[in-house]
Structure 1
């Protein structure tokens, strides 16, 4: 599990490699509201739905040879769980913590790339963690751009996307075939 953790946090970061949640992370980095409530809601929703969906898909859809229907099944499980947890959070804290598409995409990635229930839930939790680790990084990029006198929103967004692309290249450049030892043997 330790290698899976580092794989999905760094090398195959859900935000940097797949691009899931990149736009939302840029939006949330400029938001003044605290992110801990959204993080807790996303973590609870995504982990519980990924566990239920993994069990449903592997116990009912795969034996019936209907595995291609798993996105629809995941959506049918996700909507009531997400609405229920959102209602609990709204009643207790009077704050909205709505996150829909990002959590759902994390669940799809986790179900597709896992081989056991524990690994599915673990990958989902790592995806959520990776997303919320990325937000302060984007915030620091925005602050750095504003500090050096950025003029327009368009140039700010271009700077952020170029910086993210450079970081993606840095994380992925070690996987070049000529750097592997087996090439020259």
Structure 2
């Protein structure tokens, strides 16, 4: 179980593998302390949608032989849960754009890559944690780049993008090259 958590937090995260949420992470202007409410909201939406869809898939769709319908119902559940959380939390406006694409893709990834209910939930929670770890990493890099910026001609966003790319290659490259040494024989 711990292997699943560590893999989907670091090596198999949705940002590293698919690039989902990278623009959102790099262009955030808020303080990192403001993200606790967003973290809880994203975690609840992803966890509840993944759990509900997995249970529906196992109890109904597998028995009827219509597994291909689960993405449609996952989308319906996701919109319903997101709207319910939006009405409880009272955010500024409900639109299913950038704020909801990351939890949607995390739920989709957890449902397609999970092999049991526990693994699906662990992948879902690990994906949300991974996204917010990369937000903290981007804030740390942004602050570090502000220290070293000498003139206004430099582009901090470009340097932040290059720095994140190097970190992604290092983390993902380590997974691809060092962990699979025994599989080549």
**Contact conserved, 2:49 with 2:81, CA < 8 A, in 1?**
yes
**Residue 5 of structure 1 pairs with residue 5 of structure 2:** yes
Shift of 1:111: 0.1
Distance in 2 between the 1:97 and 1:2 partners?
Answer: 37
Matched residue, 2:145: 145
Inter-CA distance 67–152: structure 2 relative to 1 (3 Å threshold)? farther
Which runs of structure 1 show a deviation greater than 6 angstroms over 4 or more consecutive aligned residues?
A: none
Distance in 1 between the 2:120 and 2:183 partners?
Answer: 32
Residues 87-145 of structure 1 deviation map (CA, whole Å, 9 limit, x = unaligned):
1112xxxx549631111110000000001111111111111111111111101111222
TM-score by length of 2: 0.84
* 1:1-185 paired onto structure 2 within 5 Å: 1-28=1-28, 30-32=29-31, 34-90=34-90, 95-96=91-92, 99-149=99-149, 151=152, 155-174=155-174, 175-176=176-177, 180-181=181-182, 183=184
Inter-CA distance 109–81: structure 2 relative to 1 (3 Å threshold)? same
Distance in 1 between the 2:161 and 2:84 partners?
Answer: 35
Q: How well do the aligned residues superpose, as a CA RMSD in angstroms?
A: 2.5
Distance in 2 between the 1:125 and 1:24 partners?
Answer: 19
Inter-CA distance 172–107: structure 2 relative to 1 (3 Å threshold)? same
User: How many residues matched?
Assistant: 178
Structure 2: runs of 5 or more not aligned: none
Structure 1: runs of 5 or more not aligned: none
TM-score by length of 1: 0.84
Distance in 1 between the 2:68 and 2:53 partners?
Answer: 13
